[in-house]
Amino acid sequence: MEEQDIAITIGKNITRLRKLSGMTQLELAEKLNYSDKSVSKWEQGNGIPDVRILVQLSELFNVSVDDLVREHKEKPVVPKRERKIRRLVVTTLSVALVWSVAVVCYVLIGVVWNVQGETKSGAWLSFVYAVPASAIVLTVFSSIWHWKWVRVAAVSVLIWTLLACVYLTLFICGVSDGMWLIFLIGVPLQVMALIYFVWRKKARIKE
């Protein structure tokens, strides 16, 4: 009876983790090189996967083997579509916060310059710097949510807009001769970023 209880607990955990990952029984079976009938049997508590499969499952779902065999309190499974919407909202609000800070900086810098009687200011640079800051936010969240192509685009935007910020800042300070050369720094950085992403993609395929 104890073995049957363990089988049922493992089955519930596999079902819960599979649904949280947005996978069907067939998709999980393909990743384990097993049939979907085997996965169905495990989830129904009619059998216990061997140790090798339990290790594979723990790595696939990013949990410990103990999490697979231990009983958990039932938690509502959030549908995949709803999770995507939540992640999009969180990311959008975070980027919006960056631009809100840029607006505040623009206003404050403008006020200071007006008080001092200056006719020109670099307050508009607040919005320029908001672009790489937004790219950093997107890079972080795309790494957390596993948005591969968003991460690639965000890193590329980050590289070139950071260089643009440096260029424009120096230009305003009166340094302009030969400053366009600073953009050459972006070439090797962009190449290294692309090489890294290609390497990571191949490494995951092998895994």
pLDDT in tens, 119-148: 456 788 899 999 999 999 999 999 888 888
Tell me the C-alpha distance between 189 and 158, whole Å: 11
Evaluate if pTM is beyond 0.85.
no
Tokens 């519930």 belong to: 12
- pLDDT for 116 equals 53
Average pLDDT of span 59-82? 76
**Cα distance between residue 29 and residue 39, in whole Å:** 6
Q: Can you tell me the distance from the alpha carbon of 81 to that of 88, in angstroms, rounded to the nearest whole number?
A: 11
Residue 117 pLDDT greater than 60, yes or no = no
The pLDDT assigned to 75 comes to: 56
How far, in Å, CA of 42 to CA of 36, rounded? Answer: 10
- The two tokens of residue 147 are 């948005």
Distances (CA, A) of 173 to 114, 119, 164: 19, 15, 14
Examine the pLDDT at 3 and tell me if it is beyond 80.
no
Residue 83 tokens read as 């999770």
Query: Which tokens go with 25?
Result: 């029984």
